Amino acid sequence: MTPPLTPEQLLLIADEFCAAHRVQVRDFAALVAAASVPGARIHGLAVHADPAAAGAALARAVARLEPLSGRNRDFATACEAVYVRLAT
């Protein structure tokens, strides 16, 4: 089972990343959308087979949604690493 990620948890990750890399959150709705990806379910069934797959999907979503003012690909990689570490 892949655990969910709350928007607040993803915002905490973003806040730390932004402080370290001098960028800003430019789209909070994009953060909320990305946070929904790892715990996605359809008819009660998890969309992702395991935390690694969920983390990879989270990274793709962050990279595509570009919630930060810059360095979104780096942020996507960081999100994946944090999520997988916490979920396993």
What is the pLDDT, as a whole number, of residue 2?
78
**63-78 pLDDT tens trace:** 999 999 999 999 999 9
Query: Within a 13 Å sphere around the CA of 54, how many CA atoms are in the beta-carbon half?
Result: 25
User: pLDDT by residue (tens digit) across 15-53?
Assistant: 999 999 999 999 999 999 999 999 999 999 999 999 999
Q: Where are the domains of the chain?
A: 7-87
pTM: 0.96
User: What are the two backbone dihedrals, phi and then psi, of residue 14, each rounded to the nearest 5 degrees?
Assistant: -60, -40
| Dist CA 73 CA 88 (whole Å) | 23
